[in-house]
Amino acid sequence: MDLLPDALASACLQQFRATPPLVHCLTNEVVQSFTANVLLALGAFPAMVVEPQEAAQFSTMANSLLINIGTLHRARAESMLSAITAANQAGTPWVLDPVAVGGLAYRTDFARHLLTLKPAAIRGNASEIMALSGMATMGRGVDSVDTSLAALPAARQLARQAQTVVAVTGEVDYITDGLRDVAVTGGDKLMTRVVGTGCALSAVVAAFCALEGDRLHHVATACRIMSQVGGQVSQRVAGPGSFVPAFLDGLYQLEILTY
Amino acid sequence: MDLLPDALASACLQQFRATPPLVHCLTNEVVQSFTANVLLALGAFPAMVVEPQEAAQFSTMANSLLINIGTLHRARAESMLSAITAANQAGTPWVLDPVAVGGLAYRTDFARHLLTLKPAAIRGNASEIMALSGMATMGRGVDSVDTSLAALPAARQLARQAQTVVAVTGEVDYITDGLRDVAVTGGDKLMTRVVGTGCALSAVVAAFCALEGDRLHHVATACRIMSQVGGQVSQRVAGPGSFVPAFLDGLYQLEILTY
Amino acid sequence: MDLLPDALASACLQQFRATPPLVHCLTNEVVQSFTANVLLALGAFPAMVVEPQEAAQFSTMANSLLINIGTLHRARAESMLSAITAANQAGTPWVLDPVAVGGLAYRTDFARHLLTLKPAAIRGNASEIMALSGMATMGRGVDSVDTSLAALPAARQLARQAQTVVAVTGEVDYITDGLRDVAVTGGDKLMTRVVGTGCALSAVVAAFCALEGDRLHHVATACRIMSQVGGQVSQRVAGPGSFVPAFLDGLYQLEILTY
């Protein structure tokens, strides 16, 4: 399997910086502030608009839409469906983060329904991607006990089935459109001790889905940015507390992607 | 136009420190933690009480009330109206932050209704203030594409119409009661890369509206504190991540206001 | 009264690190991110699952449950009751943080009802514990104007009445099961200038309630961890902003508890 080439990733970052997208984020309650700060650090414009009619209206103005079901409840599910419907009508790409899907019934049914609504990309950990594709998993939902490589067949199947790009992330990230795979290395296990790193990655994936061109490479670049900066920052901080400001600074200063 | 004099701003800060207010914040989901930390750093007491009956009860105990419509939805709108009604009966001043008003229908109708309920002050960016006053704007709501100076006539008109103090903030902040204007300089564009700096400013405006005296100067002092500390901190941090802790420390240590 | 011995606290921390719990947090809107980061820094696994059916399902999978009523509203109260009922059926211990109870009617009624549902522990400030036990208090709910020592009789009575462990925290923390008391010193008033330190402590109390053994000592160890690390960090930071990353780093690095 090929790693995402440096030159391709850097070119994609330049394209992003030249046309920073407005990203509509319907995400979970816990990570909204960190998600917004990650997008702002990269130069994108985040916005969270939640009332169903407004969420629909805003999806047609935004350049992409993130749907994260971490703290799904009935009212927010209505907003999400309203936003997705409007996004699809307007041609706004939308991205699914199927947080903790599998073990919990309400969100699992909801996520399965969302698969029929043509997400541009899906980003999850191994357990989530396996559960969403219908494969068995060992997780309790919030912690992935499966490796991303073990989930790659499920990711490919899910990508073909939903005609989308799937990123299954972990120690190594695999990004697939069902026919082609790209791998992204980097990151650090310290990132698992900071809430929202995975959720924020999904928001960055959504932001990169606003770009014209090869979506497989755009999604891979989003993964690459987060794991490269996260990995580098982890080497020089004392713990998960100082990771957050250093990580946001690193995203803000990022100019090229090179191993 | 006059800048807010140093001596007046410093005296207002001393008055604030001597009687730190309890501020009831009904604000958007994304910025609640940062807003609370900004108020705490300045010595005020933030509280978020959201159930409609409790929100009403608490508005009569608090020294001021913030209404921020960034993530408005039906249930929270009910809480806001309940809190405002009780605040007005008890004489508790309340402040409106009309986030993204103009482009989105539900919140625009709601904000127009709130204008009839006697806000003590309104704080917004140029696009928001122009939209709220009924003038045309170019913004998508979340990003202000108009300058604060261009919005000053709208701010004056809005202040007269709603009998309130309006702060239209941007590279330069203008604060007006419709008859008198004050300008506040400072700040840094790095602050636009940190989520919630504007929303937190509105909370500080609400906190300063609890003071006895000339509200125009109190609102201007709130703007001055945020832009002075923000501008100074921006010069010595590496990016938006390290801005946040340094900014809160700066607010905590602030003793006098001087250019 | 005895201080919690170093050796006992350190042993309890080792036990915690050996079997890090999954903690279901139904907490207030303002502190969710900080709460999750505190638990992650200590090695525990936080999760916030809010839809009523899912909240019930997840309570049976989690090792403990936190109920914090800071931003209580009707829909979330339903989720909480659903989660508690399931937790009690599954034998999952749950912890109550009765934020601002006393002054506000809706949450006070709710918290009194929760007392009948067998919490494993209750953590509050002096005014909250006094109000919950039925004693008179001077507070407005969000700020404790009573000292923790003055609330100790109320804490003991509440512990006996609800057959639980009560931690009343302040300059000195007192932990009681109604028969035995333990005191914990440390901390710093800077911690009152950071939103969520008390709420995060309650989450850590919930995490420690997942351990087998003497709950009085487990709850006291949770208090000890937060006040020891918080007190040490406060000595070397410039303010409440830099407190947060340093505190999380300190929790992450914590190995032994010693005065």
Predicted local distance difference test score (pLDDT) of residue A224: 97
Predicted local distance difference test score (pLDDT) of residue C13: 96
Residue A243 has pLDDT above 80, yes or no: yes
The residue in chain B having the minimum alpha-carbon distance to the alpha carbon of residue C238 is B249
For A54, phi and psi rounded to 5 degrees?
-65, -40
For B48, the closest of C29, C140, C245 (CB atoms) is C29
Residue C256 confidence class, pLDDT cut points 50, 70, 90: confident
Residue B142 has pLDDT above 70, yes or no: no
Asked if B242 and A244 come within 8 Å (Cβ–Cβ), the reply is no
C44 exposure class (CB count in 10 Å sphere: 0-12, 13-18, 19+): buried
Neighbouring residues of C72: CB distance < 8 A, sequence distance ≥ 6: B50, B51, B54, C28, C80, C106, C107, C110
- Chain B positions touching A40 (Cβ under 8 A) are 192-195, 240
Residue type, B141: G
- Chain B positions touching A45 (Cβ under 8 A) are 142-143
DSSP, collapsed to helix, strand or coil, labels residue A25 as: strand
Q: What is the predicted ipTM?
A: 0.96
For A181, phi and psi rounded to 5 degrees?
-120, 145
Residue B138 confidence class, pLDDT cut points 50, 70, 90: low
Asked if A107 and C22 come within 8 Å (Cβ–Cβ), the reply is no
Kindly state the average pLDDT of the residues B236-242: 98
Tell me which chains share at least 3 CB pairs under 8 Å with chain C: A, B
Residue C99 has pLDDT above 90, yes or no: yes
Q: CB–CB of B26/B47 below 8 Å? A: no
For B72, the closest of A51, A245, A252 (CB atoms) is A51
Mark out chain A residues that contact chain C at CB-CB < 8 A: 28-31, 33-34, 70-75, 100, 103-107, 140-143, 192-196, 237-245
Q: CB–CB of A1/A179 below 8 Å? A: no
CA angle B70, B125, B150 (to 5 degrees): 150
A154 exposure class (CB count in 10 Å sphere: 0-12, 13-18, 19+): buried
- Chain B positions touching A36 (Cβ under 8 A) are 30, 195-196
DSSP C164-205: SEEEEESSSEEEE-SS-EEEE----GGGGGSTTHHHHHHHHH
- Tabulate helix, strand, coil % of chain A (nearest 5): 50, 15, 35
Predicted local distance difference test score (pLDDT) of residue A130: 96
Q: What pLDDT digit, counting tens, does each position of B76-125 carry?
A: 999 999 999 999 999 999 999 999 999 899 999 999 999 999 999 999 99
Residue A253, number of CB atoms within 10 A of its CB:
12
Q: In what order do the strands lie in the sheet with B45-47?
A: B2-3, B181-184, B173-176, B165-169, B121-125, B94-97, B64-68, B22-26, B45-47
The residue in chain A having the minimum alpha-carbon distance to the alpha carbon of residue C55 is A104
Nearest to B146 by CA among B102, B105, B184, B82: B102
Tell me which chains share at least 3 CB pairs under 8 Å with chain A: B, C
Kindly state the average pLDDT of the residues C122-132: 96
Tokens encoding C85: 């009922």
For A240, the closest of C29, C54, C252 (CB atoms) is C252
DSSP, collapsed to helix, strand or coil, labels residue C125 as: strand
Asked if B239 and A247 come within 8 Å (Cβ–Cβ), the reply is no
Residue type, A103: G
Phi-psi region of A194 (alpha: psi -120 to 50; beta: other; left: phi over 0): beta
Whole-angstrom distance, CA of residue A252 vs CA of residue A40? 8
Q: CB–CB of A206/A44 below 8 Å? A: no
CA angle C32, C33, C37 (to 5 degrees): 115
For chains A and B, CB pairs below 8 A equal 101
Residue B258 confidence class, pLDDT cut points 50, 70, 90: confident
To which H or E segment does residue A113 belong?
A: helix A105-115
Asked if C33 and A28 come within 8 Å (Cβ–Cβ), the reply is no
For C242, the closest of B36, B48, B249 (CB atoms) is B249
Q: What pLDDT digit, counting tens, does each position of A109-119 carry?
A: 999 999 999 99
Q: What pLDDT digit, counting tens, does each position of A69-104 carry?
A: 999 999 999 999 999 999 999 999 999 999 999 989
Residue A256 confidence class, pLDDT cut points 50, 70, 90: confident
Predicted local distance difference test score (pLDDT) of residue C135: 79
Asked if A47 and B142 come within 8 Å (Cβ–Cβ), the reply is yes
**pTM of the entire predicted model:** 0.97
Q: What pLDDT digit, counting tens, does each position of C133-191 carry?
A: 997 665 555 555 679 999 999 999 999 999 999 999 999 999 999 999 999 999 999 99
Nearest to C184 by CA among C224, C241, C147: C224
Predicted local distance difference test score (pLDDT) of residue B244: 98
Predicted local distance difference test score (pLDDT) of residue C137: 60
